[in-house]
Amino acid sequence: MANDRVFNFSAGPSMLPLEVLQRAGAEITNYNGSGMSVMEMSHRSKVFQKIFDDTQAKFRKLMNVPEGYKVLFLQGGGTMQFGMVPMNLIGKTGKADYAVTGNFANLAMKEAKKYGEINIAASTEDRKHTYIPAQGDLKLSADASYFYYCSNNTIEGTQWQYVPETNGVPLVSDMSSDILSRPVDVSKYGIIFAGAQKNLAPAGLTIAIVREDLAGHELPITPAIMNYKNMIDKDSMYNTPPCWCIYMLGLMCDWLEQQGGAAGMEKINIAKANMLYDVLDNAKLFTVAAEKGSRSFMNVTFRTASADLDAKFVAESVEQGFTNLKGHRSVGGMRASIYNAMPTEGVEKLCDFIKKFDSEN
């Protein structure tokens, strides 16, 4: 780490690797001899088209995206996909199944209700979204146009550790907070989408991986910019794409490749998370919010028995060079977001701090 950088545990936007930032910095005023910054380039220029194509290829390789799927570089965040998914997909039968395992899944479900009939296939609200439902507990409808779930619940700190079996109903997954943190079999999905600002790039880019046969059945009211088919036909350039963020994703893809791709990243992420959970499980003051077996490898949520002690922990953590450890306002307590770019060293240092706090209080 450059010694003026903090360990930033923000849930998003979050850390980017120092090497990636330094490379972007070196290229910021004159990209590859073009005499201009990527920020200043026409998205129709040859130079930018090459950045776009290379980034597409690198991302497809890292995600192992099969034939028959398009990767779209969009804007609007994960939140725009909450509306875009039903507008494009629900027309088939007028119905969809949703697993509501946290705040973001709930928002997606509410948005989808505007466009069709929604069946709650599972809700984990009974235990404050501290767990992931088992396959056998999913109440699936045979005539759903799609089944929707959020693979990592960023706020609550839970994560699906299996891919739901839906008997042919297309799977739609919000992977905003765990994309490329572990290998994913894309062929099992209809749509995967993710805002890039947690694991991959600066805020402003949203990636959607779309099985091509699912596009082209949108509701007639669907805005052109929210129409998957339109964006597929125009290769994400119906309008100006988020050029700078696409370039940054390309740099991040190079970095991920150096970590061993999705499989290499998964090993590192599991080791980081297990280190942190072990320390918390063995501490006398702290409890982990998520139930065992449902715990997230990306967002670790924990607390002490008192809000005052939580506040003391957060205040002291800032003095130690850690930032953004305060939990989401809807949950309280603490949350350590340890995405791809959080170095192992940052988690080790946090573990030492937790142990020290635990013995001193």
Ligand X SMILES: *Cc1c(COP(=O)(O)O)cnc(C)c1O
Residues forming contacts to ligand X in the complex (CB under 6 A) are: 12, 77-79, 104, 150, 154, 174, 176-177, 195, 198
For ligand X, the closer CB: 177 or 301: 177
Report, in Å, the least distance between residue 199 CB and ligand X. Answer: 10
Say how far apart CA 29 and CA 6 lie, in whole Å. 26
Helix, strand, or coil (residue 21): helix
Dist CA 71 CA 240 (whole Å): 16
Q: How far is the CB of 133 from ligand X (least distance, A)?
A: 17
Helix (H, G, I), strand (E, B) or coil at 317: helix
Residue nearer to ligand X on the CB measure, 16 or 354: 16
Report how far residue 275's alpha carbon sits from residue 260's, in angstroms, rounded to the nearest whole number: 20
Put the strands of the sheet holding 206-211 in their side by side order.
69-74, 206-211, 191-195, 171-174, 147-150, 95-100, 117-123
Whether 349 contacts 7, CB under 8 Å: yes
Strands 147-150 and 95-100: what pairing?
parallel
Q: How far is the CB of 170 from ligand X (least distance, A)?
A: 19
Residues 6+ away with beta carbon under 8 Å from 204: 75, 196, 197, 242, 244, 245
Minimum CB separation from ligand X for residue 176, in Å? 3
| Closest CB 88 distance from ligand X, rounded Å | 17
Q: Which is nearer to ligand X, 156 or 218 (CB)?
A: 156
Query: Residue 74's closest CA among 154, 163, 191?
Result: 191
- Residue with nearest beta carbon to ligand X: 77
Tokens of 204: 């402003």
Between 17 and 204, CB nearer to ligand X? 204
In terms of CB distance, is 77 or 170 closer to ligand X?
Answer: 77
Closest Cα to residue 201, out of 341, 49, 37? 341
**Rounded to the nearest whole angstrom, what is the least distance from the CB of residue 299 to ligand X in the complex?**
8
**To which residue do tokens 């992977």 refer?**
175
Residue number, 252 or 285, with CB nearest to ligand X: 252
CB of 172 to ligand X, least distance (A): 12
The smaller minimum CB distance to ligand X, of residues 283 and 341, is found at 341
Number of Cβ within a 10 Å radius of residue 232: 18
Helices of type H across the chain: 18-26, 46-63, 77-89, 103-112, 228-233, 243-258, 261-282, 307-319, 344-360
Closest approach of ligand X to the CB of residue 315, in Å: 26
> Is 246 or 354 the residue whose CB approaches ligand X more closely?
246
